[in-house]
A and B are shown apart, each in its own frame.
Chain A
Amino acid sequence: RTALSTAPPPEKKRWLRAYLEVQRLQAPPQRRSEKPNWDYHAEIQAFSHRLQENFALDLLKTAFVNPCYIESEEAKRRELGLDKDAVALQLQDNTRLGDQGLRFARAYLAQCFEGAYPALPAKGVEALVNFLTSQELVSYVAQNLSVQDLALCRDFPVPPDVLQRTFLAVIGALLESSGPERTGIFVRDFFIPQLIGKDLFEIWEVVNPMGLLLEELTKRNISAPEPRITRQLGVSTVLPLYFVGLYCDKKILAEGPGETLLAAEEEAARVALRKLYGYTENRRPWDYSKPKQALAAEKAISSN
């Protein structure tokens, strides 16, 4: 028998229990704030301690308030027949903080990538930043940080774009309370690990890798690549495998496999681009240590 701690007291009639269990399982999901044992202020304090950041609590509380919540509350109050002064809520919503957070996150991530991969063109950096601030990723991160319990919203379960806006508003609140350095470290710690295991061309859609490769090589004054078949297996079967190598001035640039010759050449161009931009699988992992400027500042302050 399962332990029912706060469920309704177990029915004495045996033949009712199965029906009540089915009713309990089919009930629509409820917000955590409507279930017993919920203290909003304590939860917000625990949230800021969990992320190891000092938030200004009132800024954080405004970051969780969504415009749809304010509208639904005002509609409820109007239905109850209150005066117009009482209808208007005293709450600010999180659109301003959300925009601030989004702008800061995009600028900081773009700066990070330009510093780490200087050869990557602007379109590539933009594609990476768009992927990291996309709805699915941000709502996934927010859900696993319990933002969906604390966010005040009209619908439940919270839709992903509301989660994205709330999390970016949290970043904006952190920016206003702790300054850009700490917020930068926060963004780095939570967004950049989502790139682990991902390939550059999964994130950045490139239609013509050969053309892009030709542009890159002309920028570096290297002659056009010459494709040659390096290895081939099973040419006359249903599943042939060709390895096409790209040679510049008879020196190998990259080699890529493929089912047909054209597919192999395109894959070789992609491998060459990955090598040129420095986004291979065996690159140095991201540096998550404390920033050196902060350490230098601390040393300067402690020595004085």
Chain B
Amino acid sequence: RYVRQLQRLQLLFSPTAADARGARQFVEEAAQDFARQHPDVVLYVSPHSGPGPAPVLRAEYLNGTVREELIASKTSEEIVQLATKLANQSGLDIIRIRKPFHTDNPSVQGQWHPLTNKPSILTVQGPRWQPQ
């Protein structure tokens, strides 16, 4: 069955900084709807007062990876889109895909090895030996 890989989202922002305006709007308007639509993700909202670090959305996944995305100067809709994107990801590292194709069954009739299409010893005809 499908198990959502996102465990929890932590929204860390400051209640007074100018670049956290989108984060504050998200918390006021869209955070509850997001939490209701994703009941298996725990959403923590922690405002830290005073001038502090930039507003950040931290996502923790089931395999332990923690991903931080800056949400400074983003609108509320963009933060919703970002949160849904993180919720649909798995926690695997984001690396370059080496090949754009993959099969689970690389060979249908069996992979060739030097003994395919060679007759076996039991049916080999020699100069005097006749098969029965």
Q: Which residues from chain A sit less than 8 Å from chain B, CB to CB?
A: 3-6, 36-37, 39, 42-43, 45-47, 49-52, 144-146, 149, 189, 228-233, 241, 243, 245
Q: Which of A3, A42, A241 contacts B56 (CB 8 A)?
A: A3
How many whole Å from A194's CB to the nearest CB in chain B?
14
* Shortest Cβ gap from A281 to chain B (Å): 11
Say whether A50 contacts B54, CB under 8 Å.
no
Return the 10 tightest CB-CB contacts between A and B, nearest first: A50-B40, A49-B40, A37-B44, A49-B39, A230-B120, A46-B42, A189-B1, A42-B42, A5-B12, A231-B115
Option from B7, B10, B54, B114 in Cβ contact (under 8 Å) with A146: B7
Q: How distant is the Cα of A50 from the Cα of B4 in the complex, in angstroms?
A: 6
State which residues 1-60 of B face A: CB under 8 Å: 1-4, 7-8, 10, 12, 39-42, 44, 46, 48, 53-54, 56, 58
Q: For the complex, what is the distance from the CA of A230 to the CA of B122, rounded to whole Å?
A: 6
Cα distance A233–B46 when bound, in Å?
A: 70
Q: How far is the CA of A42 from the CA of B132 in the complex (A)?
A: 77
Given A39-B44, A46-B40: A6 and B7 interface contact (C-beta under 8 Å) = no
The reply to whether A3 and B42 form a contact with Cβ atoms under 8 Å apart is no
Q: Does B118 contact A (CB under 8 A)?
A: yes
Confirm or deny: B65 has a beta carbon within 8 angstroms of a beta carbon on chain A: no
Interface check B77, CB cutoff 8 A = no
For this complex, 9 residue pairs linking A to B, each with C-beta atoms less than 8 Å apart, are A3-B56, A5-B56, A6-B12, A37-B44, A144-B62, A145-B3, A145-B62, A231-B121, A243-B120
Are B46 and A37 in contact (CB-based, < 8 A)? yes
In the complex, what residues of A have CB within 8 A of residue B82's CB? Answer: none
Q: Which residues of B contact A42 (CB under 8 A)?
A: 42
Instruction: Give the number of chain B interface residues (Cβ < 8 Å).
Output: 29
Interface contact A229-B56, CB-CB below 8 Å:
no
Check if B121 sits within 8 Å of A232, measured CB to CB: yes
Contact of A46 among B39, B48, B53 (CB under 8 A): B39
Interface-centre pick from B46, B48, B120 (highest chain A CB count, 10 A): B120
What's the least CB distance linking A257 to chain B, in Å?
A: 9
Please tell me if B63 contacts chain A, counting CB pairs below 8 Å.
yes
12 more A-B contacts (CB under 8 A) besides A5-B12, A46-B41, A245-B120? A3-B53, A3-B56, A3-B68, A6-B12, A46-B8, A46-B42, A144-B63, A145-B62, A146-B7, A230-B121, A243-B115, A245-B122
Contacts of A6 in B (CB 8 A): 12, 48
Please report the C-alpha to C-alpha distance between residue A163 and residue B84 in the assembled complex, in whole angstroms.
31
Contacts of A52 in B (CB 8 A): 1-2
Cβ of A146: which chain B residues have Cβ within 8 Å of it?
7, 62
CA distance A146 to B61 in the complex (A): 9
Give CA–CA (A37, B115) in the complex, Å. 63
- The reply to whether B39 and A45 contact each other, CB–CB distance below 8 Å, is yes
Q: How far is the CB of A236 from chain B (nearest CB, A)?
A: 16
B109 CB to closest chain A CB, in angstroms? 12
Whether the Cβ atoms of A4 and B53 lie closer than 8 Å is yes
CB distance from B59 to the nearest CB of A (A): 12
Q: Taking the nearest CB of chain B, how far is it from the CB of A10, in angstroms?
A: 9
Closest CB in chain A relative to B55 CB, distance in Å: 9
Docked pose: A149 CA to B56 CA in angstroms: 23
CB distance from B132 to the nearest CB of A (A): 10
Cross-chain contact A39 with B42 (CB below 8 angstroms)? yes
